[in-house]
Structure 1
Amino acid sequence: MRKSVLLAALFIVAMALPAFAQPGVVAKVSLSGQRMDVYVNGAPRYSWPVSTARRGYHTPTGTFKPQSLVRYHRSTIYNGSPMPYSIFFSGNYAIHGSYEIKHLGRPASHGCIRLHPSNAAQLYTLVSQAGRSNTVIRITH
């Protein structure tokens, strides 16, 4: 009897661990593929083309947490360029919407990760709902 109770308890704990181990939203960005795959609670939800840093600029790689969310930001560095649905993740670097949609799928930015504005709005909503602490941004080559 004691052994079955212990096994049942271990099973319950093992089933609960993945929920605690995974953040609510994971945005995986591939610089070589110029794509972002978005996972919600471990399940794939979206796959979108992006534009990252063009030659002469740099998009940081690594694992980040969102630092701030700004619904409608204008660049303080690049002549007030519109950056709707900005999710800042490392200093002045952000994931944001871009109206330069013809460039999506190839490097074109000064280092930010550009998305189609409607995709940026969807990601912004997901991150807002999950919370910055339950969101991870992973950028790889």
Structure 2
Amino acid sequence: MKIFTTAFLCASLFFSAPAADAGQLIAKVDVSEQVMRVYKNGKQIHKWRVSTARKGKYTPRGQWRGQYLSENHKSSLYNNAPMPYSIFYSGNFAIHGTNATSRLGRPASAGCIRLHTSNAKKLFDMTQQVGTRNLKVIVQN
């Protein structure tokens, strides 16, 4: 029975792991431009408008690996505000979709990185394909 259990667990890990050739995904946010550029294996594949922290709030700068995904997340800090296709990268900070699309391209969030929901879904799906450990989030001025 132990052999069967071990074999099953190994097979589960093999089939649920991202493909070895999935490559690296980089989401690079330029706060001064309010733009995210997405790179796959070193090649830019997307450029999207974002909203980072509004006055009085802060979007941390630095580099992180993706931590976890939450497809239908609701904010525990801001009255259950919808955060569709969330990719958490540093504590409570995430890249996620927004319904405030008219604000994209200028600071408007409480610190997260907001994208048009269709773009957030694309990034979410790509991150699922490569695995969160293969997503690098870079936030710079």
TM over 0.5: yes
Matched with 1:97 is 97
Matched with 1:70 is 70
Query: What CA deviation, in whole Å up to 9, does each residue of 1:9-48 have, x standing for no partner?
Result: xxxxxxxxxxxxxx61000000000000000111110000
1:98 Cα deviation after fit: 0.2
Larger radius of gyration between Structure 1 and Structure 2 = 1
1:135 Cα deviation after fit: 1.1
TM-score (structure 2 length as normaliser)? 0.83
1:132 Cα deviation after fit: 1.1
TM-score (structure 1 length as normaliser)? 0.83
1:133 Cα deviation after fit: 1.4
- Aligned with 1:29: secondary structure? strand
Q: Structure 2 regions of 5+ residues with no counterpart?
A: 1-22
Q: Structure 1 regions of 5+ residues with no counterpart?
A: 1-22
Q: Which amino acid aligns with 1:115?
A: L
Tell me which stretches of 4 or more aligned residues in structure 1 moved more than 2 Å: none
The aligned runs of 1:25-64 (5 Å cut-off) are 25-64=25-64
Instruction: Give the Cα separation in 2 of the matches to 1:82 and 1:76.
Output: 10
- Aligned with 1:128: secondary structure? helix
Query: What CA deviation, in whole Å up to 9, does each residue of 1:96-129 have, x standing for no partner?
Result: 0000000000000000000000000000001110
Q: Which amino acid aligns with 1:136?
A: K
Query: What CA deviation, in whole Å up to 9, does each residue of 1:48-75 have, x standing for no partner?
Result: 0000000000000000111110001000
Instruction: Give the Cα separation in 2 of the matches to 1:33 and 1:96.
Output: 18
Matched with 2:3 is none
- Aligned with 1:102: secondary structure? helix
Q: CA RMSD in A?
A: 0.7
The aligned runs of 1:105-116 (5 Å cut-off) are 105-116=105-116
The number of aligned residues is 119
Instruction: Give the Cα separation in 1 of the matches to 2:33 and 2:57.
Output: 17
